[in-house]
Structure 1
């Protein structure tokens, strides 16, 4: 039908003509002054000569603009923004992101496959494709309790959904490298059998040598975790595709990529962006940071559009060329990446100065998604940790956090014993507790943290990677109890208590991980939580993510779940106190 209309009269088909812009040519990696004709939702003709003979319905003068494809983020988690897909779509388009590949293992950890379907059912203007969550739970049910489990049956079902185009990050180090019959190995085999050409995403932190070969032998050939110059060279040299998130966009890493011309093997991604940060930027912010750290703007754009499109097998986007989707951005300049306007499917969806749209009715979640936190209030007795031996001091295993990133170290510290109980409040450490919240087993894990809170207070959340049980950490019993009670009353939240009073809250009533408010409102709430954590002495480049990932048992080196502290590589539980 299209071609019959085409033959009857081309002048009836041209919807939009963009004139005189500096157009990004992804194939030659340069900008060229050209005109762009668009029919419906696709690019029709790109040429340096006058195209007005095509009789367009609308003409846009872009004589002082740079025109690039819409940004493509192939590794990200919508839930990190604490908003649903319908809200996220408008926020990301605001920043020039027109396509994402979302690994929604957070909602899957809470509601299983039902959560994934609830996400995929939401109407969005931007294109949201999905990577099947491969790590729900991230380890095994004997090490962390989740609300749902994604097994081979669920994977087989999801493989048939048209929005599913990849397998999400495989994280279980032990299951991948040394357990042939593990759930993750069975999931990998299921995908490789049914969809042999589907991209398989890996979570490969601090893995090298033969261990890296084991990951690749299992089929994993991409990594998005924290990189160094050495890891970039080894992984790319071995055949791993690298996805650089913000913490890996350093001068040293960019220098290696530039020196070895590795642009074909690298994409810029976000992975996780908190709502207060999303207000300021998304993938465009990481692109801008990459330029600041040494990337040529042309290479930064290439690694945010064309390279990620090829990694995911997209044949219809990632460049400005005849026949591809008309997703594009008009920029005022390259260095600051200042967006003038954004087009999706040939339609203007954002112009600089526009307010961020929000549609409350588009959320559309089942009612039980709003009542998913099911655990008991803590009491003072729950915080009294008995010491079985008659000693004045006991050696404790401790999670030591870092000021940059989410990695931790396993250290040992002596803690005084008072009247037969661990005197953790006088130790200079923080007590951390993880409560199973799904009503399955009432499991509770205990640990100690160094380098977290220095003042009297507590922070609590149900946004605890990846199992999303209720986690609370504090330096005083009074504040721990106060913060935990507030989280329960809100059916999920981020809460900070100081000197016995709640000083900041960010309600997350949808599954304990998502807000039903507009982005500016939740961004303001989380910013207040972040500042309250800083006021208590929390020192990290991303306080929210640092705390939330203390419960992520696949991120080095020692983390905590509702079963207790755990060695990430061996999955061995680590006792709070040494014998």
Structure 2
């Protein structure tokens, strides 16, 4: 028989045994044809590669990720991740949908890519309800029904609204879940359920949702898995303690490794391959780490045509120089070599064309000095305020109480240890402005601003002085979105994201460098977190514990009630 490619004497990963074995691997067209320890003399290959003891594993499969987190577009993303061995992803483009609705998702799905990009139905657009946050688009029942007809849709994206899922049978998210179960009974329903235990966890699972990718902890990990939940480990959950739970209980079948969010600057260094290596360093055996980045994610999504080196399966594979360093020598997609060590990423001459309106989507007025003077009617010289306290690890926040001075009838936040956080509606719908205080998020005077504000992507600026806040907000508007960091006297860094305020079509090297400059400028101001940019961008995510901001106000994300800035018994704003 004539075949296209024969890889001889390679250490091929046997998925069933979860071990490497010396094999000869024949490929015909886009698929594996025959894998054998014997010489394949009966085959007539067009090309022969001598394995020389190199290691062959299936292409990596990332089933929960957001392309927009890399702040680039599908075409550029595809080119950027192939060198890291990623050949299939399931993208939940709810950021694009929050800005542009189903039209934005359609634009994403139309992109020409080398990596196979499947899509999830964005279930959380908005992440809560229109009464709690303003977004540019909404994915409701009609949009869900339309998307269910698209073959690129393989799952329901992360359902976030715990209250609506667990306690409100008539909520929109429950109706979306029910529609998916009716139209595609076996389609995976993905979940977002941080710090949920006991009966609350049971209620979440009872709805039909059966996975979680959020921050995991050893004390709840076993409970989730033994309750039937499939766990997707993102970077911050890949800890020795969590890996020990998997290893000690032989839970390999019930979990996988994902990326969720990889920023543009981190994408310069790696993607899912880096999380695989981190899992091994944290105690997961290498063979099981490969299994959990190829086979278990494929089965979770019903990809029965990939994730294993076997006859009839897609010939997506990686050749590794050695296992210890996981050094990639070459990457093949559908039997074709797409990358060899040393190749530079080359971008196509023509990339996605977005509608002109996507470049003029930030419709927000300029802040004025008067906007930052907060009047308080009170007889007291100071008032108690609800304040957001961020953490230095992860994206969780807490509510604390602080006493702030009153000066000439205004809240004197500039002479306190708090910064002012402002969220402004940017879609031209209502002009909302909401205010909050943060406990000393930065050590130096300055301001940080972005339109990449999970998930509503309104304009969000935080600063210690009015001057810095105004400068950051004005620069954001001028460049139609992105990130900006302002010091006491000057702008320290910018990263323009002109497509919807969340994306750029700059080469990933240029975009990544700009974002790295933003990260370093945040560090220069004294913003502390394991991921400064994600920490700041999720201050606006109203489904993440415990207190976050929308254009409607400062929200208790569990009860979905808004906190007043000033305690009512101390004073009234206005």
TM-score tier, shorter chain, comes to over 0.9
1:262 matched to 2:247:
no
Map Cα deviations across residues 412-463 of structure 1 (whole Å, 9 max, x no partner).
Answer: 1111111111111111111100000000000111101124111100000000
Aligned to 1:203: 192
- Tell me by how many angstroms 1:53 deviates: 3.3
SS in 1 for 2:377: coil
Hey, what's the Cα distance between the residues in 2 that align with 1:277 and 1:76? 14
1:453 matched to 2:422:
no
2:417–2:440 contact (8 Å) kept in structure 1: no
1:390–1:420 contact (8 Å) kept in structure 2: no
Unaligned runs of 5+ in 1: 1-9
1:49 matched to 2:38:
yes
**Cα separation, partners in 2 of 1:213 and 1:277, compared to 1, 3 Å:** same
1:433–1:471 contact (8 Å) kept in structure 2: yes
Hey, what's the Cα distance between the residues in 2 that align with 1:225 and 1:202? 9
Map Cα deviations across residues 2-46 of structure 1 (whole Å, 9 max, x no partner).
Answer: xxxxxxxx22xx001111110001111110000110011000000
1:428–1:454 contact (8 Å) kept in structure 2: no
- Tell me by how many angstroms 1:479 deviates: 0.7
1:249 matched to 2:244:
no
1:288–1:335 contact (8 Å) kept in structure 2: no
Hey, what's the Cα distance between the residues in 1 that align with 2:390 and 2:352? 36
Hey, what's the Cα distance between the residues in 2 that align with 1:506 and 1:474? 18
Aligned to 1:148: 137
Hey, what's the Cα distance between the residues in 2 that align with 1:318 and 1:48? 20
SS in 2 for 1:447: strand
Aligned to 1:378: 367
1:402 matched to 2:391:
yes
2:6–2:49 contact (8 Å) kept in structure 1: yes
SS in 1 for 2:376: coil
Map 1:366-445 to 2 at 5 A.
Answer: 366-445=355-434
1:451–1:539 contact (8 Å) kept in structure 2: no
Hey, what's the Cα distance between the residues in 2 that align with 1:63 and 1:568? 55
The two structures, once aligned, show a CA RMSD in angstroms of 0.8
Hey, what's the Cα distance between the residues in 2 that align with 1:177 and 1:296? 36
1:341–1:350 contact (8 Å) kept in structure 2: yes
Q: Higher mean Cα deviation, 535-544 or 410-419?
A: 410-419
Alignment equivalent of 2:522, drawn from 533, 546, 551: 533
Aligned to 2:547: 558
1:28 matched to 2:17:
yes
2:26–2:35 contact (8 Å) kept in structure 1: yes
Alignment equivalent of 1:507, drawn from 478, 486, 496: 496
Unaligned runs of 5+ in 2: 569-574
Map 1:316-355 to 2 at 5 A.
Answer: 316-355=305-344
Aligned to 1:38: 27
Q: How many residues align?
A: 568
Alignment equivalent of 2:229, drawn from 240, 249, 258: 240
Alignment equivalent of 1:303, drawn from 292, 310, 320: 292
- Tell me by how many angstroms 1:379 deviates: 0.4
1:103 matched to 2:92:
yes
Aligned to 2:154: 165
Q: Higher mean Cα deviation, 554-563 or 423-432?
A: 423-432
SS in 1 for 2:42: helix
- Tell me by how many angstroms 1:466 deviates: 0.2
Map Cα deviations across residues 342-391 of structure 1 (whole Å, 9 max, x no partner).
Answer: 00000000111111122352121111111100000000000001111121
- Tell me by how many angstroms 1:92 deviates: 1.1
SS in 2 for 1:233: helix
- Tell me by how many angstroms 1:500 deviates: 3.3
- Tell me by how many angstroms 1:64 deviates: 2.8
Hey, what's the Cα distance between the residues in 1 that align with 2:547 and 2:295? 37
1:94 matched to 2:68:
no
1:291–1:335 contact (8 Å) kept in structure 2: no
Map Cα deviations across residues 448-489 of structure 1 (whole Å, 9 max, x no partner).
Answer: 112411110000000000000000001111111001111100
Hey, what's the Cα distance between the residues in 2 that align with 1:451 and 1:346? 54
Runs of 4+ in structure 1 over 4 Å off: none
Aligned to 1:357: 346
